[in-house]
A and B are shown apart, each in its own frame.
Chain A
Amino acid sequence: MYPIDVAGLRGFLNRRSRASTRPVIPRTVWLLGLVSCFTDISSEMISSILPVYLFVHLQLSAVQFGVIDGLYQGVTAAARLASGVVADRWRQYKLVATLGYVLSAVCKLGLLATGSAWTAVAAILSADRLGKGIRTAPRDALISLATPPQDLGSAFGVHRALDTVGVLIGPLLAFWMLSSMPNRFDAIFVVSFGIALIGIAALVLLIDDRTGDVSGERRLTVDLPSLLRNHSFVAITTVAALTSFVVVSDAFLYLLLQWKRGSGAESIPLLYAGTATSYLILAAPLGRLADRVGRSRVFVIGQACMVLVYAGVAILDIGLWTLGLVLLLHGAYYAATDGVIAALVSSATRSEVRASGLATLNTATSLTRLAGSVFVGVIWSWRGPGTVVTIALIGAIATMTASAITLKGTGRKPIEASTA
């Protein structure tokens, strides 16, 4: 286990009330959080009702559904990488991110216009995900470039918390609309489009992307090889990719919980809401903790939460209270890893390659996540859920140990070079 710096933690708690130690959360970060909140309400409205739409409404066959689902999950990897490099090359973080947001918004209207041909629906949903892939890295680069290096964890924490507010509201709004206006998917698409427009307006009108610390000239090249020579960056990305492979997807965890509970009475949306609530509450505090006691430590603590989740699923009878505890820890895992890893990468990369670095991280983790899902799927069909839990537990302990060793010292003090 990675020892927690008790003195540091106590010092942090003692000084908490003092204004001088307050993290500086730039206005840009709050506003980007607002943008993400609106965008996630819009996109989660669609993705939460997507299975109902494809299956119950369009009545696609299982095979067609499988193809769309696969495209929806996997299409973004290449776009993520390209958008990061392009954003660095022309220093147009806001512009590239805006293009991503606009593409996704237009797709909401596209869903309205398309006929019921499943191939057209598949194409539009892929374009929607493409938009998400394009916007993520430049947006995270904007957050990191606007924030003092010592407060990156807090800034990403605040952004992820606001983002998760949208994740919580979107499905509630969509299901509320569907239950009060049966089958009016057109209304959901239109409202989703309108909310996406508000997000874009906030981005375009309110956010200033003149990052003062970078010289005004265009860069002719992006020094990608420097990223690969950067040992901290490679170590962080490798650990993050390994973690994404080992940590089973939310859907699988919820299926494991349903399997363990036996009855399957809790619907999966309820479990998603549980995790999201925990993530929402813990994202900012754990981000701040990461700034105080070391980001790699908090990252390892997050992995420990995941170990506890699997141990809980393996050992405990999952009653209502233990279910709540598991979801709390699951949210804590996200809160201690997702924003924190972005902060780690940001502080380990120079600003000229920041978006490319974040994009590489996103691409690596999304690819290993996909591979992990396929792997878990094979194990599940071959040996059953019991084996999945055992393998996940062993994998989580192994990655946690590997991260603790690899990341020792990394990100404990932010690399000052990042501000160039």
Chain B
Amino acid sequence: MSDSRPSHARIATFIGFVSAVAIALAAYLYVAIEPAPATSNHSNGIVDEKTSKALTELRRGSYVAFREMALGATYGNLAFASLEPGTPRLFSSLPCHRLHFSDTIGVCLAIAAAPAGFRASLLDEDMRVTQTIGLPGMPSRTRVSRNGEFAAYTVFVSGDSYLASGLSTRTRLLKLPSGQDVADLESFAVLRDGKEIYSLDFNFWGVTFTRDPNRIYATLGTGGKILLVEGEVAERTFRVIAEDIECPSLSPDETHIAFKKRFGSGFDAWWQPAVVDLATMTVRQLPESKHIDDQIEWLDNGHILYAVGHSTSAAVRRADIWTIAIDGASPSSIFLADAESPAVVRR
């Protein structure tokens, strides 16, 4: 049995090597990572005092909240801008992957330090974090009802590899501002042509609220099919109203649903924005061929907003928010460069 002590030279080499690696890593992190902006001086606040004043001014009119994607100290943080192009952005210190706002309350889904992993932060009217809720999976979608009474979030739960697709989603409704759990959509009964249907592989995602926060639309995925469902929260029921309409987003006047239309299949599937007229249920494909992932947002009754990723490197995600008219008459254009997860608050 040989268990000789390593020579002093080798130990010294090892210590030297470890020090070199440590110094190199420290130098890399120092150069590559911008320092986080100084934290604000009032408790739970996410903006400093100067920004706070400008934000109050901005929020007197209509505005868009979004995830800042320009590389720099505020990359990945919640930010705000007016709907007028070219106005300066206001940055917060709160990292968000997905976010949504009504005029009185906001929800921000983000990655948190382990062990909780993922969290939802609830923001009040003064942009202070009032609640932090642990999430059971990775942030995917979130919506706040227009009157600020409810929020919905969807997370991916990995490790559910029993499903053919290798993932499942959890979608839950929260009461605001308390953050109390109202329902898991999987507890809702689902009716199709008047008959209740059920399968273990039911997955719900992408809630959109109507003006009556008790009535919602969502996506139900089951058996490889994508179904649009409309539901009553109080009665815990959904009705299937259409097929192949994924991740719905209801227009402010409640006449149209913008959604993600799937093309191709398997590995090569991609999604493009499309709109369905709720009166006739006719689907209009828009002149946009770029792939989208996140839920669509409405700028106004005639225009939608959606994020398009354009990373060239796998390590750093980049994206822009694009806009297009729903009449399909004009091509899309960039609404906000270096931004994603738009949430429009109209006044």
Report A's interface with B, CB cutoff 8 A.
Answer: 26-28, 48, 51-52, 55-59, 61-67, 69-70, 73, 111-112, 114-116, 118, 120-121, 146-148, 171-172, 174-176, 178-187, 189-191, 194, 197-198, 201-202, 205-208, 210-213, 251-252, 254-255, 258, 263-270, 273, 373, 376-378, 380-382, 384
A208 B114 Cβ-Cβ under 8 A: no
Contacts of B159 in A (CB 8 A): 51, 251-252, 254-255, 268
Tell me the smallest distance from the CB of A163 to a CB of chain B, in Å: 19
A56 touches B161 (CB 8 A): no
* A51-B138, A176-B114, A268-B157 as given contacts; A380 in contact with B316, CB under 8 Å: no
How many angstroms from the CA of A51 to the CA of B157 in the assembled complex? 9
**Stretch of B18-26, B81-89, B144-152, B232-240 with 4 or more beta carbons under 8 angstroms from chain A:** B18-26
Flag if B5 contacts A27 (CB, 8 Å).
Answer: yes
What distance in Å separates the Cβ of A65 from its nearest Cβ neighbour in chain B?
A: 5
CA distance A258 to B184 in the complex (A): 13
Check if B95 sits within 8 Å of A179, measured CB to CB. yes
A-B contact pairs, 16 of them (CB 8 A): A26-B3, A27-B5, A59-B293, A65-B165, A67-B267, A115-B312, A182-B97, A186-B316, A201-B18, A205-B11, A211-B1, A252-B162, A254-B159, A255-B160, A269-B116, A378-B162
Query: Across the interface, do B156 and A51 meet the contact criterion of CB distance under 8 Å?
Result: yes
Identity of the chain B residue whose Cβ is nearest the Cβ of A38 in the assembled complex: B18
**Separation in Å of the A46 CB from the closest CB of chain B?**
12
Q: B111 is contacted by which of A147, A175, A268 (Cβ under 8 Å)?
A: A175
Contacts of B18 in A (CB 8 A): 198, 201
Chain A CB within 10 A, most for which of B200, B293, B314: B314
Contact among B3, B5, B13, B112 with A179 in the assembled complex (CB-CB below 8 Å): B112
Q: For this complex, into which size category does the number of interface residues on chain B fall?
A: 35 or more
Residue B280 CB within 8 A of the other chain:
no
B138 touches A116 (CB 8 A): no
In the assembled complex, the Cα of A309 lies from the Cα of B13 at a distance in Å of: 47
Complex Cα–Cα for A258 and B158 (A): 13
Query: Among A27, A62, A373, which residue has its beta carbon within 8 angstroms of that of B3?
Result: A27
Residue in A48, A114, A186 whose Cβ sees the most chain B Cβ within 10 Å: A186
**A185 near B315 (CB under 8 angstroms)?**
yes
10 nearest A-B pairs in the assembled complex, by CB-CB distance: A182-B76, A66-B166, A377-B162, A251-B159, A186-B315, A175-B114, A51-B158, A62-B165, A182-B95, A212-B2
When C-beta atoms are compared, the residue in chain A nearest to B68 turns out to be: A182
Q: How far is the CB of B21 from chain A (nearest CB, A)?
A: 5
* Minimum CB–CB distance for B116 against chain A, Å: 6
Pair B32/A55 contact, Cβ less than 8 Å: no
* Structural contact, B138 and A270, CB atoms closer than 8 A: no
> When the two chains form their complex, are residues B21 and A194 in contact, meaning their CB atoms are under 8 A apart?
yes
Asked if B179 CB lies within 8 Å of chain A CBs, one says no
- Asked if A381 and B162 make an inter-chain contact with CB atoms under 8 angstroms apart, the answer reads yes
